[in-house]
Amino acid sequence: MISIRERGKVYEYQFEVARIDGKRKRITKLGFKIKNAALIAGQKAYDEYINGECHSEIFMSYGDYLDYWLKNYCEAYLKYRTIEEYSVIVNKYLKIGLGHYKLNAITSYQLNKYLIDVCRRYDYSYGYFRNFVKVIKCSFRIATDVYGFIKYNPSLTIELPRTINLKKRQ
């Protein structure tokens, strides 16, 4: 429940959050000139708290997230050579083609279309394109499951196209 109160010439909203060590905790913000502005901002903050949305990561681009993912996740869990290969894929292809989109605005359709375009444009081996898909899927899986930056993983449905002649390893 959000409460609004006047403090001098400005208004403040506050609401109670989960208890820590049995003690009551509140989120408050002061400085609204009118009561209605405090109520609207308080409702928005309360909704974000209840839904578990991140405050600063909502407007993160996919390119910025890929840098964050390489630094914070890959360096902690992957081997050096794997990180090098992933960095090449990220910097040479993904940041150029998809990096300008907001992280939470990318759809499965965009990912599949981009993957088909890349497969048609470049003449790489099937194994290289499998790594390409692996980077996309892993980055979105971590954004969804580990960091919680997005609620839906758009990479669940992507796969390498079968109609395009990819060089098979012989």
10 vs 47: which has the higher pLDDT: 10
The alpha-carbon radius of gyration of the chain (Å, integer) is: 22
DSSP H helical segments within 90-141, as ranges?
95-97, 108-121, 126-141
Residue 67 and residue 47 in one domain: no
Residue 63 and residue 42 in one domain: no
| Mean local confidence (pLDDT), 44-52 | 79
Distance of alpha carbon 115 from alpha carbon 99, whole angstroms:
14
Structural domain includes residue 165: no
- Tell me if 152 sits within 8 A of 104, measured CB to CB: no
Of 8, 13, 9, 50, residue with least CA distance to 28:
13
The reported pLDDT for the residue numbered 148 is 84
Residue 14 and residue 91 in one domain: no
Q: How many domains does the chain have?
A: 2
Range of the domain at 69: 58-157
Structural domain includes residue 163: no
32 vs 58: which has the higher pLDDT: 32
Lowest-pLDDT choice from 39-43, 59-63, 118-122: 59-63
Q: What's the CA angle centered on 131, arms 125 and 134, to 5 degrees?
A: 145
Residue 25 — very low, low, confident or very high, per pLDDT cuts 50/70/90? confident
Residue 162 — very low, low, confident or very high, per pLDDT cuts 50/70/90? confident
Residue 47 and residue 62 in one domain: no
Residue 120 and residue 151 in one domain: yes
Residue 120 and residue 138 in one domain: yes
- Tell me if 140 sits within 8 A of 155, measured CB to CB: yes
Residue 139 and residue 97 in one domain: yes
| Mean local confidence (pLDDT), 145-168 | 82
The reported pLDDT for the residue numbered 53 is 57
Residue 40 and residue 67 in one domain: no
Structural domain includes residue 91: yes
